[in-house]
Each structure stands twice: as structure tokens, then as C-alpha cells.
Amino acid sequence: MSGLIGKKIGMTSIFDENGKNIPCTVIQAGPCVVTQVRTEEVDGYEALQLGFDDKKDKNASKAALGHFKKAGTDVKYKVVEFREYEGEYKLGDTISVDLFTEGEFVDVTGTSKGKGFQGVVKRHGFGGVGQASHGQHNRMRAPGSIGNASYPGRVFKGIKMAGQMGGDRVKVENLRVLKVLADKNLLVVKGAVPGHKNSYVIIEK
């Protein structure tokens, strides 16, 4: 699918033509440089490799320096491959936010915020156990039973428990493009996208 690499700037809200307040996310989408063109004959599949966000040469390996030099561009922080890219592009071409149009829908992939070790109420939305009265104490946010006794005599895999929350790769689908600000390489999409501010995201048509 055609797409771009971007950076989440933050959230805001805009008013539509009916005066309704719409929450939205501002993304710096591109410009991305074509750093490699995968072909069926050489690689066994067709894809475009895009690079985004300049990086200092001293922080790159010799292999990376040679790779980006071949494309005639600066070293990039983020490199992503897109399969079945629409349109003909060659090595060194720049793809900007003009790829998207207002009103169309996109999928945005990013890494969700890390929350650390969390209990079942926050992590899985458990309601808590029992009432606060009747002599009960310190069990309100407990998970309750995690299995049966003598049979099966073990805890099944996949039981929802406390643990590490966040830091996962998350894709949010069908977000409507509200605005395309080509002069600033900004894309405004309806709703929230995963990740913290200045985190990298992948926007696909």
C-alpha cells in the first residue's frame, strides 16, 4: 500500500462546517526519500524502501552510510518498506504529504505509550471484586479466581493478569484525513493515533 513515514506532533481539535468540535492528531508526514527499490527479479518481491528524518553521519554505521550514499541522500533515522506502492518511483525520489487528499481514509501504525507494570483493572478493564463492605478488605482491585481446583489443576495460557502494559505495535484503521498542509508537510487526521509526541508513525492509504 502507498504510504509515508511520519512523526506524531500532538493532538488538537478543529470545528467542522456544522460547528462540531472534532478531536484530531497532527502528524508531520514526510518528506520521505526513496532509499531502495525492491524488484521481483532481484529480491523476489516488489516494494519501495523509504527513509525519513535526517541523522548525523557520525551516528551511522559504514554500511548505512554506503546505503544512503547510493540513493544520493543524507542518512535517515527511520527506514520502512512499503509493498504494492502505487506510481513509478526511482532511487533518490522525494515523496511528500501531497500523496494524501482531504477526505480520504488512512491507517496509522505506531508504538503505544509504555505504562509499566499495571494491575488487571487498568490493563484489562476488570471491574474489581465484590463490595467494599461486609468485612472485605484489600480485594477491590484483585483479579479473582484464575482457574479451577483439582481439574485441570493448572492455569490455562492466556489468562488475563497483571503485567507489562503498553509499548506494543498498534495499528488504528480508517482515520479520516481532515487537512493536508503541504507547505508545512503536516497531515491532520480525525481521532487519536498510538504513541507519544515525536514518536515515529507509518501512514498507509
Residue range 3-204 forms a domain whose CATH class is mainly beta
* Predicted TM-score (pTM) of this structure: 0.84
- Is 84:40 a contact under the CB 8 Å cutoff? no
Sketch the domain layout of the chain as residue ranges: 3-204
163-189 core/surface letters (b: 16 or more CB in 10 A; e: else): eebeeeeeebeebebbebeeeebbbbb
Q: For residue 128, give the C-alpha cell.
A: 474489581
Q: Which amino acid is at 180?
A: V
Q: Name residues of the chain where pLDDT drops below 50.
A: none
Mean pLDDT of the chain: 90
E strands within 16-168? 21-29, 32-38, 47-54, 76-83, 94-95, 105-111, 116-118, 163-165
Q: What would the pLDDT profile of 88-115 be if each residue is shown by its tens digit?
A: 888 888 889 988 999 999 999 999 999 9
